[in-house]
Amino acid sequence: MGKALIIGAGGVASVAIHKCCQNAEVFEEICIASRTKSKCDALKEKLEGGKTKITTAQVDADSVEELVALIQKEKPDVVLNLALPYQDLTIMDACLETKTNYVDTANYEPLDTAKFEYKWQWAYREKFEKAGITALLGSGFDPGVTGVFSAYALKHEFDEINYIDILDCNAGDHGYPFATNFNPEINIREVSAKGSYWEDGKWIETEPMEIKRVYDFPEVGKKDMYLLHHEELESLGINIPGIKRIRFFMTFGESYLTHLKCLENVGMTSIEPIEFEGKQIVPLQFLKAVLPDPASLGPRTVGKTNIGCIFQGKKDGKDKTYYLYNVCDHQECYKEVGSQAVSYTTGVPAMIGAMMLMNGTWNKPGVYNIEEFDPDPFMEALNKFGLPWKESYTPDLVD
């Protein structure tokens, strides 16, 4: 059917690329391009020989010029951005210049402040619409599947959704005292920032990790979880009519939190550059360099993830509760694609999002968050490509 240009060759990209190759009818050809070309070549070597034709390229995704030249050479139908959030705008600029569809899994982040908001990317709406191309924002799991779940619940289960609690549980154990399951820099920025939730049309801010709850997750058991700010709260607060409150909770073990506190206390999680031996370095980027590479956690991680949304609202005038979730097993993911479940649960929806644009199932010029499209074909594809979802009408609620 067509060709995708995949930018980035890290944990998430590796899964998305495996999945594209399992779906060769749609992804006849892919080009893997990243800063370190050897990582692209290693993926090509591993996956070559199937029906999908694979090429590789070196690119600095901070440079619009380099990106435009690459897109002009490769002529993809869609660019799937699986580099870091810092590159979102340069890649969007290059897509505009070459009139190519765009998909990502994380909102643009300026290097010097942790914001987790969409305003920079939403500012491209008119330009994309005029160019007749689509930007699909946030096609990972959260954001991503959580938005698709919300659109699906609204379409099939409710007349009005009033409350959403997004619960992200990773009960995996990698055996290290401290490691992050995806890019350490982004992960630590996210969890050391202030928490917030959306209530009655405005943000309520909390101190980092101030709000803690215990939840008994299906197929996983009881875990401590903490309220965090998360980017999809912003778009769902606007796109789901009738919403009164949306919160996001993520589970953390005691060891992770103790290490994080200590690293914070000594200044290692700061994103403010400091001078070290005559050179400017960002402490958090240095920390990333000494932590285990998330891509190396696959073989040693055991246990499951459970990510989903609890909805409360009204159907035919009556109160209703509905829980949609996915359970994913780290070792099963590793057996299938050589990665742990956190990369898997992001890489699969990234491939599906690219597929939705590539085969024209979703076709709407402009810049959109994922919940603004028809959820049904995406829900079907989740079942088909390794992230089957489950539902419950009687879940425990979070107080």
Contact positions toward ligand NDP, by CB under 6 A?
8-13, 34-36, 39, 59-62, 82-85, 87, 105-106, 140-144, 182-183, 186, 294-295, 346
Residue 180 Cβ, how far from ligand NDP at the closest point, in Å?
9
User: Any idea what the Cα angle at residue 81 is, between residues 77 and 86, rounded to 5°?
Assistant: 145
Give the residue with the Cβ less far from ligand NDP, 80 or 358.
80
Please say whether the beta carbons of 169 and 299 come within 8 A.
Answer: no
Which CB atom, from 23 or from 183, has the smaller least distance to ligand NDP?
A: 183
Residue 192 CA: distances (Å) to CA of 117, 261, 287, 291, 353: 16, 9, 14, 17, 29
Residue 352 CB, nearest approach to ligand NDP (Å): 13
Which CB, 8 or 195, lies closer to ligand NDP? 8
Least Å distance, CB 280 to ligand NDP, is: 17
Give the nearest residue (CB) to ligand NDP: 10
Is 353 within 8 Å of 27 (Cβ atoms)? no
The answer to whether residues 216 and 222 touch, using CB atoms and an 8 Å cutoff, is yes
Between 140 and 386, name the residue whose CB sits nearer to ligand NDP: 140
User: How many helices and strands (H and E) does the chain possess?
Assistant: 14, 18
| Burial of 393 (C-beta count, 10 Å sphere; 0-12/13-18/19+) | exposed
CB of 105 to ligand NDP, least distance (A): 4
Encoded tokens for 161: 């959704």
Strands 160-170 and 245-251: what pairing? parallel
Q: What are phi and psi of 296, to 5 degrees?
A: -90, -5
- The Cβ of residue 123 has, within 10 Å, a number of other Cβ atoms equal to 13
Residue 328 Cβ, how far from ligand NDP at the closest point, in Å? 12
Residue 224: CB minimum distance to ligand NDP, A? 20
Question: What's phi and psi for 63, nearest 5 deg?
Answer: -105, 115
Task: In angstroms, give the least distance from the CB of 309 to ligand NDP.
Answer: 13
Nearer to ligand NDP, 237 or 294 (CB): 294
Give yes or no for a contact between 198 and 152, defined as CB atoms under 8 angstroms apart: no
Using only C-alpha atoms, what is the Rg of the chain? Answer: 20
Q: Are strands 318-329 and 389-392 parallel, antiparallel or unpaired?
A: antiparallel
Q: Give me the least distance between CB of 389 and ligand NDP, in Å please.
A: 15
Rounded Cα gap, residues 149 and 147, in angstroms: 5
Instruction: Mark out the alpha helices in 211-340 (DSSP H runs).
Output: 232-239, 254-265, 283-290, 330-337
CB of 279 to ligand NDP, least distance (A): 19
Name the residue nearer to ligand NDP (CB basis): 21 or 43: 43
Q: Which residue has the tokens 């959306």?
A: 198
Give the shortest CB-62-to-ligand NDP separation in angstroms: 4
Shortest Å distance, C-beta 85 to ligand NDP: 5
Task: List strand residue ranges (DSSP E) for the chain, in order.
Answer: 2-7, 27-34, 53-58, 78-81, 101-104, 134-137, 160-170, 195-199, 202-206, 212-217, 221-227, 245-251, 274-276, 279-281, 304-315, 318-329, 366-369, 389-392
Instruction: Give 186 or 355: the residue with its C-beta nearer to ligand NDP.
Output: 186
